[in-house]
């Protein structure tokens, strides 16, 4: 509980800081509080993942503080593009810290060795600080953010096609969603915050389901689908919502981002994001397809109650319902707003 409180407060310190040094300090405290949480299980895979995470984040921190020092000691009348080059260096460090392409190499490897609860924190809360700091320099590092947007969407879509480990699938899905968030960042601050909140809701829902069922491999999903129709429907709807398929909740943030990108006449980026989102929707559908078709049966001679999310985990049920019926609810509430 102590490390969780430090984790949350350090991110708030980093976001609300008035100087780059204070923001760097908040990120460092966040890193030092997250390492004990990762190593809490005392097994080899979590220790290896925590070491890889520490080394990567340390590299990002060194690069960030070097850029801050260079920015502080730069002359009053710098040579052309000097400030842009320094800010691009700092933005690259922030991209490394949040696992966006082309600095994504560590993210799937670290996710593979974590528990689902730690993976949810790494996919959601740990990205808030770097994203907020990255949004401060959008106007001066626009080309770098656009390049990372395109690469993140492509890496997240293509990297998850041949994966059978669910934690790696969620890692590449997170990289793809980082591309959408950075695209929203170029359009406005409230837009990327809105997308990030929806992303936290959807990814946490699936992560909590996998944690409740103790599932780590794609074959285990097929076995869990045999235990009840409630799990089958909730998990399937949550995956389709994460892919942005209407009429689920995940379509709302993608709808808003596409609308704003079209208003700003960023047609090529919009086209790339939509095509890559279709690829992510393909490997989401591949996960749930066999459970909904060939393995869609129930054993009527069993009288024992199987583990169901609806009875054992009320919070997961509420999150899954929110991720499923959010768009119809929002459309119904529009006339009253």
- Domain contains 333: no
Contact 154, 97 (CB under 8 A): no
Looking at residues 12-21, what average pLDDT do you find? 93
pLDDT at 307 over 50: no
Neighbours of 51 (CB within 10 A): 15
- Domain contains 76: yes
Question: Residue 217 pairs with which residues in a beta bridge?
Answer: 165
Look up the pTM and report it: 0.89
pLDDT at residue number 320:
75
pLDDT at residue number 139:
86
> Quick one: tokens of 22?
């204070």
Question: What average pLDDT is seen over the chain?
Answer: 86
Looking at residues 31-51, what average pLDDT do you find? 83
Residue partners of 8: CB distance under 8 A and separation at least 6: 125
pLDDT band, very low/low/confident/very high, at 286 (cuts 50, 70, 90)? confident
- Domain contains 26: yes
pLDDT band, very low/low/confident/very high, at 333 (cuts 50, 70, 90)? low
Q: Which residue has the tokens 């929002």?
A: 330
The whole-angstrom separation of Cα 110 and Cα 30 is 17
- Domain contains 54: yes
> Quick one: tokens of 171?
């890692």
- Domain contains 268: yes
The whole-angstrom separation of Cα 130 and Cα 15 is 9
The whole-angstrom separation of Cα 311 and Cα 290 is 25
Stronger pLDDT, 192 or 81, i.e. the higher one: 192
> Quick one: tokens of 88?
């691009």
Going from the C-alpha of 315 to that of each of 205, 212, 320, 333, the distances in angstroms are 9, 11, 9, 24
> Quick one: tokens of 211?
């944690």
Task: State the virtual CA torsion across 104, 109, 112, 116 in degrees, nearest 10.
Answer: -40
pLDDT at residue number 281:
93
The whole-angstrom separation of Cα 269 and Cα 218 is 32
- Domain contains 69: yes
Residue partners of 285: CB distance under 8 A and separation at least 6: 239, 240, 243
Plot region of 42 (φ>0 → left; ψ -120 to 50 → alpha; else → beta): left
pLDDT at residue number 335:
58
- Domain contains 237: yes
pLDDT at 232 over 90: no
Looking at residues 202-228, what average pLDDT do you find? 83
> Angle formed by the axes of helices 189-213 and 166-185, to 10°?
170
Range of lowest pLDDT (24-28, 55-59, 73-77): 73-77
pLDDT at residue number 40:
67
pLDDT at residue number 303:
42
Burial class (CB in 10 A: 0-12, 13-18, 19+), 80: exposed
- Domain contains 132: yes
pLDDT at residue number 119:
94
Burial class (CB in 10 A: 0-12, 13-18, 19+), 305: exposed
Contact 119, 170 (CB under 8 A): yes
pLDDT band, very low/low/confident/very high, at 235 (cuts 50, 70, 90)? confident
Q: Name, of 23-27, 232-236, 239-243, the range with top average pLDDT.
A: 23-27
pLDDT at 296 over 60: no
pLDDT at residue number 326:
72
Range of lowest pLDDT (152-166, 168-182, 187-201, 298-312): 298-312
Q: How many structural domains does the chain have?
A: 1
pLDDT at 135 over 70: yes
Half-sphere exposure of 228 (CA within 13 A, CB side): 14
Q: Which residue has the tokens 């890496």?
A: 155
The whole-angstrom separation of Cα 297 and Cα 278 is 29
Looking at residues 58-73, what average pLDDT do you find? 92
Range of lowest pLDDT (154-158, 203-207, 321-325): 321-325
Closest CA to 118 of 58, 192, 221, 36: 36
Closest CA to 95 of 63, 119, 122, 125: 63
Q: What is the pLDDT of residues 309-319, one digit of tens each?
A: 444 466 677 77
Q: Domain of residue 103: give its range.
A: 2-298+305-328
Range of lowest pLDDT (34-43, 98-107, 268-277): 34-43
């Amino acid at each position: 509980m102590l490390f969780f409180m430090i984790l949350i407060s350090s991110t708030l310190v980093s976001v609300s800081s008035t100087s780059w040094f204070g923001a760097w300090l908040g990120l460092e405290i966040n890193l030092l509080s997250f390492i004990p949480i990762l190593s809490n299980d005392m097994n080899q895979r979590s220790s290896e993942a925590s070491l890889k995470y520490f080394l990567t984040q340390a590299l990002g921190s060194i690069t960030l503080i070097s850029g801050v020092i260079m920015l502080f000691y730069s002359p009053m009348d710098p040579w052309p593009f000097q400030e842009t080059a320094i800010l691009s260096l700092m933005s690259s460090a922030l991209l490394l810290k949040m696992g966006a392409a082309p600095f994504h190499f560590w993210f799937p490897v670290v996710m593979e060795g974590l528990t689902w609860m730690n993976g949810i924190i790494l996919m959601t809360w740990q990205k808030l600080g770097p994203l907020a700091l990255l949004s401060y320099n959008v106007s001066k590092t626009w080309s770098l953010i656009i390049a990372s947007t395109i690469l993140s969407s492509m890496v997240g879509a293509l990297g998850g096609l041949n994966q059978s480990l669910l934690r790696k699938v969620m890692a590449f899905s997170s990289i793809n969603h980082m591309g959408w968030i950075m695209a929203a960042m170029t359009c406005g601050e409230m837009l990327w915050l809105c997308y990030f909140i929806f992303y936290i809701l959807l990814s946490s829902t699936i992560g909590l389901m996998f944690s409740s069922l103790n599932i780590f491999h794609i074959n285990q999903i097929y076995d869990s689908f045999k235990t009840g129709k409630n799990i089958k429907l909730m998990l399937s709807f949550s995956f389709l919502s994460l892919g942005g398929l209407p009429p689920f909740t995940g379509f709302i943030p993608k709808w808003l981002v596409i609308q704003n990108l079209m208003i700003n006449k960023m047609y090529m980026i919009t086209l790339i994001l939509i095509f890559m989102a279709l690829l992510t929707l393909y490997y989401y559908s591949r996960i749930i397809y066999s459970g909904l078709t060939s393995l869609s049966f129930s054993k009527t001679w069993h009288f024992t109650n199987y583990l169901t999310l609806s009875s054992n985990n009320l919070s997961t049920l509420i999150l899954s319902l929110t991720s499923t019926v959010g768009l119809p609810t929002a459309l119904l509430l529009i006339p009253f707003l």
